[in-house]
Structure 1
Amino acid sequence: MQSVSTKLLLLLSILNQYYLLATPSRVHSISPIPNEALPTKSGYLQVNSTTKSAMFYTFYEAKEPNLLLSETPILIWLQGGPGCSSMLGNFYELGPWRVVSSQGHNVEKLALEPNQGSWNRLFGLVFIDNPIGTGFSLATTTEEIPRDQQAVSKHLYKAIRAFIALESLFKTRPIYVTGESYAGKYVPAIGYYILKRNAGLPTSSQVNLVGVAIGNGLIDPITQVATHAMSAYFSGLVNEKQKTVLEKVQDEAIGLAKLGNWSVATDARSKVLNLLQNMTGLATLYDFRRSIPYEEDLVTTYLSSMEVKKALGANVSIDFEVCSDTVGKILHEDLMKSTKYMVEFLVKHTKVLLYQGEFDLRVGVVAAEAWMKKMKWDQIENFLEADRKVWKVKGKLAGYVQKWGSLSHAIVSNAGHLVPADQAVNSQAMIEDWVLNRGLFSDNGIVEHLNPSYNSE
């Protein structure tokens, strides 16, 4: 006859097996990167020869260039955060291959599949983990991680120069710097820095910067923070009483920023967003339609594979994180500072594209229009008076475009904060038309007038 203890052990064993079967497994099966999905080039771009700190990059050459390679534009993509890896953009948004998940028996399988809306169809595409300490980039010490946009720009400039030096043809190719979210700081900062440096260099030594594109960018935080209550109210997400409460908290953050109390102002902005999150009960403020947040952890898990790291040429000792808390904390005081004056400088000397996903509550359409109205640019009144035109892709509504001179503003329909993730093909059409001056992004006002619903093919 079995003892009581033996029976108890048997019962516990059965219960344990039942628990394992009933509980969703977190075991992952990660497929290696197919040869056809490997970057054209990848590795490290040194920013400090003494400490060996360096930025990680992946480069994908244009798949179907319609120009000579020496004239084919190169797009540089910078992720936001601060401290989020551009590998998120690469493997979740606009790169040629995306991480996808499928469920097997108690196993989540991760693999890559082609992205039909990749931004390297007609152009070369570079993803850079910026600043150092982000993603696979190397920061020898935390003290070396930039604390403001001036320091960010110096490192990025060295990395971009190092990339251009990799191939003789890179020196002649037009460069466009693009990015989203906190890259609303990075993109204007490096664009401004490049143009200032170019002014003192012979043409042969200059970086051939032609334009910058910023998606859902945090550019002028004081102005943008002031719009959260209004955006939520007119989206039907809060009532008038809640709107008033939000406005009071917004004013506190704005007042602190105006006094130069940058760190406390950043905390106050977080209070605004947390309050808005609690009031609305949304899954994410990045896209108020979504029932679950963006699945960024897919990229974290995939890039944690030793085999994947080796294939990309990344330092295998790095524990990959999509977003670095360390970098975020170091740039804490930078968050509420403005780069508007840099955008104003760029719009006078290059072409600028600003675009928003229409359902982003953090740095969306209303926030963008608020700070654009305050731009110091001799053409801003013409821009504000320009028609907002219906934009179609292959006969279907893709959004709206407003353009005057060197400034274009696009609102992408059915998209949130991560526009290329939500609307891959339409975002591809947008960036291609903007770079190539086609359709609603054309400099030809007559063409725009005759074709207000231009169909990008």
Structure 2
Amino acid sequence: NRKFGILFLDNPIGAGFSMASSPQEIPRDELSVAKHLFIAITTFLQLNPSFKSRPLYIAGESYAGKYVPAIGYYILNKNAGQLTEHRRVNLAGIAIGNGLTDPVNQVATHASNAYFSGLINQRQKIELEKLQSEAIDLAKLGLWSQATNIRYAVMDSLQKMTGLATMFDYTKKVPYEINRVTRFLQNEVVKRALGVKESVGFHRCSDAVKNALHEDVMKSVKNMVEMVLKKKSKVLLYQGQYDLWDGVASTEAWVRTLGWEETGNFLMAERKVWKRDGKVAGYVQKWRNLSNVAVFGAGHLVPVDQPLNSQEMIENWVLDQGLFGEKDLLSNHWGTFS
């Protein structure tokens, strides 16, 4: 937040500190999620009118590969409707990190990704591909719950085949220490500072939310990304190169199928080497309002693995500077790309 205001939203209802009065209140689809987020965002802007004119960028990672396009799509539709000028939301762009956005195309990549990373052999690859095809076929039939179950079976099988400490980063010897966040937010002093009741617990991952959205898992929101692009809002996709869940190959698989008039030009755009302090930081492909970044030395949780590079990536994307500038700048204050 050294250059921007930042607001964290615990989403969906039932996750983080957000509370659901009953399991039935938890959303079961992306439209419901978007409605809740829209109310949260517009209420915040009403309570803090000094932020109203600022450009809004919405970012999230992993399953927020669904939430972020959904709220972007919802805002743009609302803005185009009957909203008065003072109630419109000034959406400027969306950013998705290691996101699950178009599951049918993405689930098809796991076996090849692991095979060409040297993690499984051809027999195991064929075994995984059979499971992947089953998940895809079930999704095409609209059997969403069964399709989700088979997708989880794909990942469980890959975990057993590889014996990795975490599928979020195949180079790690131990899993991410993500429980630190939960311990911090459960601290009584922190709760008081945030205005949270002592009796309210923080749920980093909620089983109730997972169950509510079970049938949503294999559904695509690619059409929502297409709409955001067509409305000229900026879209940033970024992935850590070591992620086996929703990594680089997984993202490229669905980006190649985008129904956007500039998709062909984007796919032909040069993929540039991004360097920081003389070291490779990642690879950047950009055309018009779509940018895709593969982050070097990172897994599923890019800001955890590469915090400084992540910060500057976001700042330069928002400000249209450096590798995200309209002009082909070869260097700037924070690094070079060639």
Fold match by TM threshold 0.5: yes
- Find the partner of 2:74 among 175, 190, 193: 193
Instruction: Give the equivalent residue in structure 2 for 1:208.
Output: 90
Calculate the aligned-residue CA RMSD, in Å. 1.1
Q: Could you say which residue in structure 2 is the equivalent of 1:34?
A: none
* Letter of the structure 2 residue corresponding to residue 362 of structure 1: W
Which of 176, 181, 201 matches 2:57?
Answer: 176
| Equivalent residue letter for 2:21 | T
2:46 maps to: 165
Residue in 1 that maps onto 2:334: 456
2:29 pairs, out of 142, 148, 155, with 148
TM-score by length of 2: 0.96
State the match for 2:286 in structure 1.
Answer: 403
Cα pair 1:395 1:455 within 8 Å, conserved:
no
C-alpha distance in 2 between matches for 1:259 and 1:397 = 44
Q: 1:202, CA displacement in angstroms?
A: 3.2
1:433 matches 2:316:
yes
Tell me whether 1:333 sits opposite 2:211 in the alignment. Answer: no
Q: SS in structure 1 opposite 2:196?
A: coil
Question: Sequence identity of aligned pairs in percent?
Answer: 58
Tell me the secondary structure at the aligned position of residue 303 of structure 1. Answer: helix
What is the alpha-carbon distance in structure 1 between the residues aligned to residue 48 and residue 35 of structure 2?
Answer: 22
Distance 2:248 2:120 in 1: 18
Offset of residue 455 of structure 1: 5.8
Deviations 1:139-178 (A, max 9, x none): 1222111000000011100000011112221111110000
103, 112, 123: which one pairs with 1:230? Answer: 112
**Post-superposition shift, 1:204?**
2.5
User: CA shift at 1:320, angstroms?
Assistant: 2.1
How many angstroms apart in 1 are the aligned matches of 2:17 and 2:40?
14
Aligned to 2:129: 247
C-alpha deviation, 1:442, in angstroms = 1.0
Deviation at 1:454, TM superposition (A): 5.5
Query: Of residues 412, 428, 453 in structure 1, which corresponds to 2:295?
Result: 412
Distance (Å, rounded) in 2 between the aligned partners of 1:288 and 1:169:
44
Looking at structure 1, the residues matched to 155 and 49 of structure 2 have their Cα atoms a distance apart, in angstroms, of 47
Q: CA-to-partner distance for each residue in 1:85-124, whole Å, 9 max, x for gaps? A: xxxxxxxxxxxxxxxxxxxxxxxxxxxxxxxxxxx11111
Indicate which of 352, 359, 362 corresponds to 2:242. 359
Tell me what 1:371 maps to. Answer: 254
Aligned residues of 1:221 and 1:336 also touching (Cα < 8 A): yes
Residue from 213, 216, 225 that aligns with 1:343: 225
Deviation at 1:395, TM superposition (A): 3.1
Offset at residue 297 of structure 1 (A)? 1.2
Q: Quick check: 1:152–1:186 contact (8 Å CA) kept in 2? A: yes
Confirm or deny: 8 A CA contact 2:42 2:87 kept in the other structure. Answer: no
Confirm or deny: 8 A CA contact 2:186 2:201 kept in the other structure: yes
The structure with the greater share of residues assigned to helix is 2
Could you tell me how far 1:195 is from its partner in structure 2? 0.3
**Structure whose alpha-carbon radius of gyration is higher:** 1
Deviation at 1:388, TM superposition (A): 0.1
Summarize deviations over 1:28-68 as a string: whole Å, max 9, x none: xxxxxxxxxxxxxxxxxxxxxxxxxxxxxxxxxxxxxxxxx
Rounded to whole Å, the distance in 1 between the matches of 2:194 and 2:101 is 32
Following the alignment from structure 2 to structure 1, what is the Cα–Cα distance between the partners of residues 208 and 75? 27
Q: For each residue in 1:420-445, what CA deviation from the matched residue of structure 2 results, as whole angstroms up to 9, or x when unmatched?
A: 0000000011001100001111122x
Q: Which moved more, 1:195-204 or 1:375-384?
A: 195-204
Structure with the larger RCO, 1 or 2 (CA within 8 Å, 6+ apart)? 2
What does residue range 314-325 of structure 1 map to in structure 2 within 5 Å? 314-325=196-207
- 1:377-409 CA deviation, whole Å, 9 max, x = no partner? 110000000000011223321101000001000
Q: Which runs of 5+ in 2 are unaligned?
A: none
Aligned residue identity for 1:172: S
CA distance in 2, matches of 1:222, 1:455: 41
Q: 1:319 to 1:204 in 2, by over 3 A?
A: closer
Higher strand share: 1
Letter of the 1:378 partner, please give it.
E
Letter in 2 for 1:411: A
1:73-84 matches, within 5 Å, as: none
SS at match of 1:273: helix
Count residues with an aligned counterpart. 333
Verify: 1:133 aligned to 2:14, yes or no. Answer: yes
Q: Which runs of 5+ in 1 are unaligned?
A: 1-119
Query: Alignment partner of 2:186: what SS?
Result: coil
Alignment of 1:60-139 (within 5 A): 120-139=1-20
SS of 1:346 mapped into structure 2: helix
Q: Distance in 1 between matches of 2:325 and 2:253?
A: 25
TM-score, structure 1 as length reference: 0.72
Distance 1:394 1:210 in 2: 30
Cα distance in 2 for residues equivalent to 1:347 and 1:393:
29
